[in-house]
């Protein structure tokens, strides 16, 4: 399976960037991993809705045509780690060989990205920065693979 992460803008906090890199390295034992950093849409006195639309257009333009798209959004489904692992196993068994995970910028994702998603996922009812969300989803996918393979990582 190939997993591609699309992130608008670089992860500015070094400790989060290091964590993302660490878990992406661990994930490589289970899947082919690619992290693609897209150019930030600069605010330049634009309304939030316009920024989200522009960022959404950039994200959608980068998607592979037949990818299974997972996006993070506070209004998404609230899965346990075990449920995410079960879904990952089902996707794999159904022949899904390319996943794309999108974490939006500070303003979240536009409606056009949410509409394209195969799964809209919420990490928590709590609010996290978009940079923390990047680390959390990479770690949760690593955890999901470990649940599927029965290693001791998940306790």
pLDDT tens digits, 89-127: 999 999 999 999 999 888 889 999 999 999 999 999 999
Domain that holds residue 67: 2-149
* Alpha carbon distance 88, 90 (integer Å): 5
Is the separation of the CB atoms in 121 and 72 below 8 Å? Answer: yes
Q: Which helix (H) or strand (E) holds 83?
A: helix 81-93
pLDDT in the model for residue 18: 98
Domain harbouring 15, CATH code: 3.40.1280.10
- Domain assignment of residue 48, yes or no: yes
How many domains is the chain built from?
1
Whether 136 has a pLDDT exceeding 90, the answer reads yes
* Alpha carbon distance 130, 136 (integer Å): 10
Q: What is the pTM of this model?
A: 0.93
State both tokens at 14.
Answer: 């070094």
As a whole-number percent, the residues of the chain with pLDDT over 70 amount to: 100
pLDDT in the model for residue 89: 97
């Amino acid at each position: 399976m190939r997993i591609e992460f699309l992130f608008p803008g670089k992860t500015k906090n070094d400790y989060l960037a290091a964590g993302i890199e660490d878990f992406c390295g661990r994930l490589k034992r289970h899947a082919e991993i690619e992290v693609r950093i897209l150019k930030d849409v600069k605010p330049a006195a634009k309304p939030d809705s316009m920024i989200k639309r522009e960022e959404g257009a950039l994200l959608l333009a980068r998607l592979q045509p037949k990818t299974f798209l997972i996006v993070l959004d506070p209004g998404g489904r609230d899965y346990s780690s075990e449920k995410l692992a079960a879904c990952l196993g089902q996707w794999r068994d159904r022949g899904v060989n390319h996943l794309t995970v999108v974490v939006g910028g500070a303003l979240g994702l536009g409606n056009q990205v949410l509409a394209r998603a195969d799964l809209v996922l919420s990490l928590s009812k709590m609010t996290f920065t978009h940079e923390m969300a990047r680390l959390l989803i990479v770690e949760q996918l690593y955890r999901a693979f470990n649940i599927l393979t029965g290693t001791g990582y998940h306790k």
